[in-house]
A = this chain, B = another copy of it.
Amino acid sequence: MSEGVEWALHSCLNLSWVESGQAVRTATLAAFYELPSAYLNKQLQALARAGILSSTSGPRGGFRLARSPEAITLLDVVTAIEGPEEAFRCDQILRQGPGGDAETDYRQTCLISQGMRRADLAWRRELAAQTLADIKSAVERQFPAAPQNTRNRLAALRA
């Protein structure tokens, strides 16, 4: 998985603490963790395409969450950045095996493929069961200063 997933998850969490309605520029979100702005921007654009962030232009433009943290799962963010492909790559080598058939979709019939898919589904289920709101409230319980610290740093970087 690319480093972009970590950047995207933390950026979404930071945006969940921004005063509502306020957009944050890529440069500010990047400076928050000293990330390369151009590359972070690619991740933010991907999140916008997936409907997780919305982007506005102009002097007060930038990114904000496009929906509530309750409606954003870890799976949504991972899929936005990494795409919907399964981790296991099935190239259907059974086509070249004995009795292999060019018409058969071995991604469906191959029992090895099915076993790997079962694990992939367990992973997705677990990611889908955790929302940004869950993470947000867990962080707020454990690190009560985090929201205000985040807003303070964003304000300082914006200035």
Contacts and interface: CB of A to CB of B under 8 A. Distances in A.
Interface of A: 1-3, 5-7, 9-10, 13, 32-35, 74, 87-91, 93-94, 96-99, 111-112, 115-116, 118-127, 130, 134-135, 138-139, 142, 145, 149-150, 152-153
A65 to B, nearest CB: 16
A139 B123 contact: no
A64 to B, nearest CB: 19
13 contacts: A1-B89, A3-B89, A10-B94, A10-B112, A32-B96, A32-B97, A33-B97, A74-B115, A74-B119, A99-B145, A111-B139, A121-B126, A122-B123
Closest 5 CB pairs of A and B: A123-B123, A119-B126, A122-B126, A98-B149, A33-B93
Contact of A123 (B90, B119, B145): B119
A6 B119 contact: no
Given A111-B139, A115-B130, A153 B33 contact: no
Given A32-B97, A88-B5, A74 B135 contact: no
